[in-house]
Amino acid sequence: MASVPDKQPFYEAIEACRPGGRDLADPGLAFLADALGEDTTLAFRYQWSQTVDRQIGAAFADVAVPDGLGDRILETLRTALSSQQQAETAAIGSLEEISLAVENLAAEGLAGGVPAQADFTDASEEGVKEAIRSPGREEGEPEAGQSGQERENKGYAAAEEVSVRTSGSISGGKKPRRWVLAWGLVGAAAAAGLLVVFWPADSPPPFSPAQIQAEALQFAMGEAEGVFGSGQRWEGQPGVGPLAFSRAIWFQGEIRVRKVSGLLGREGLAYDLHSSEGVRATLYVVPLHQAGAVAVEEGLFTEPPRYDQTARTGGYCAAAWQENGLLYMLVVHRDSSRAYYQFFRPQVVT
């Protein structure tokens, strides 16, 4: 056996040769071509390898293709592209319209003179409220009881925020009151514009449950390789807080949470789960209803669906359901019922 290691490069070179002998002409394999004429053992091995490889190659391509596969692929493409365009249209269109509206209103407000006092009334006041609403505040949290001064202060804060986003040129610090009020008015007008833009006159059709699952699948598969598990460690309570972890998920391993944006035109959180069996899954949570985002069709599951009701492709499966005003999408990075059900209590999935 002492000679075996010496022949290792020859063996590897033999295995690099495709059936047909053409690779022996490769300059990098010239040493093998020379050796084959002198060493009968090597020559036999080469011939044997060529014959076996020819058979394996033929068997490799011997796979029956299912009937109608081409049609199914085209149908899937139509559905996927349609829902993708729908989401992109909503997201991009909204941003462009918002920017345009803000710019127009800002220009009009400044050109038309600045009122001495801000007077937030009717739609303008609602717009300001919408603009200053903090992301962490729950829907329906009472605002009644605020003093007029508090509201005005919030109005200033909103005005400054909008002004920075709009012009990018106003810095913090003390500003003349009339400028603050002017920007407050701009903010109010912009927020009012938001209401007009998103009034459901010609909004795109809502996402169906199937489209939501397909969107979740595409979103998960499109995430970069290192994104999974890159967030902070999460140790909260399911169902508690905004964009809470789902109560329907049963998972005892480490959970990491990170922000995501653009999923169904919404911003939300992604909880990354890595089970003890080595199965990865990501639970995406976004608001069920969000201004500017395409609506969700009626009929979404109110609890995690069965495995056969999930969307599956490319070794992933996705489920979507609603829970306490939130839209949950679980994407399991493996396509099997066993992998899917390990993230739920048995009685939860019906």
Partner 1 sequence: MAAEGNPLDIARLVAEHHEAVYRYAYRLSGTETDAEDLTQQVFLIACQKGGQLRQADSVRSWLFAILRNCFLKSRSKLVPTPAGTLEIPLENIPQQESPPPAIDPEQLQYALDRLSPQDRMILGMFYFENLSYREIAESLQIPIGTVMSRLARAKARLRGQLFPHWAQQVPASPPEHPSRVPTPLEKKLPVRP
Out of 221, 227, 295, 348, point to the residue binding partner 1 (CB under 8 A).
Answer: 221
168 contributes a contact to partner 1 by CB under 8 A: no
Shortest approach of partner 1 to residue 20 CB, angstroms? Answer: 9
- Determine the Cα–Cα distance for residues 239 and 347; give it in Å rounded to an integer: 18
Say whether residue 76 binds partner 1 (CB under 8 A). Answer: yes
- Nearest distance from C-beta of residue 315 to partner 1, angstroms: 3
Q: Which stretch binds partner 1 (CB under 8 A): 21-29, 97-105, 134-142, 185-193?
A: 21-29
Does 199 engage in binding with partner 1 (CB under 8 A)? Answer: no
Q: Does 30 bind partner 1 (CB under 8 A)?
A: no
Q: How much of the chain is helix, strand and coil, in % rounded to 5? A: 45, 15, 40
| 40-48, 132-140, 247-255, 264-272 -> range binding partner 1 (CB under 8 A) | 40-48
Are 330 and 307 in contact, with CB atoms under 8 Å apart?
Answer: no
Task: Report the 10 Å Cβ neighbour count for 107.
Answer: 11
31 is an interface residue for partner 1 by CB under 8 A: no
Own/partner contacts of 167-176, CB < 8 Å, gap of 24 or more, are: 167/106
Question: What is the smallest separation between the CB atom of 12 and partner 1, expressed in angstroms?
Answer: 4
Q: Residue 51, interface with partner 1 (CB under 8 A)?
A: yes
Q: Scanning residues 263 to 292, which ones bind partner 1 (CB under 8 A)?
A: 278-280
Q: Which is nearer to partner 1, 47 or 302 (CB)?
A: 47
167 binds partner 1 (CB under 8 A): no
Contact pattern from residue 295 through residue 334 relative to partner 1, giving x for each residue in contact according to CB under 8 A and a dash for the rest: -----------------xxxxx----------------xx
Burial, 343: exposed, middle or buried (Cβ in 10 Å; 0-12, 13-18, 19+)? buried
Which 3-state string (H, E, C) describes 2-68? CCHHHHHHHHHHHHHCCCCCHHHHCHHHHHHHHHHCCCHHHHHHHHHHHHHHHHHHHHHHCCCCCCC
Structure tokens at 298: 């009626």
Quote the CA–CA distance of 279 and 251 in Å, as a whole number: 12
231 to each of 200, 208, 255, how far by Cα in Å? Answer: 36, 30, 9
Residues that bind partner 1 (CB under 8 A): 4-5, 7-8, 11-13, 15-16, 18, 23, 26, 28, 41, 44-45, 47-49, 51-53, 55-66, 69-70, 72-74, 76-78, 80-81, 218, 221, 225, 278-280, 312-316, 333-335
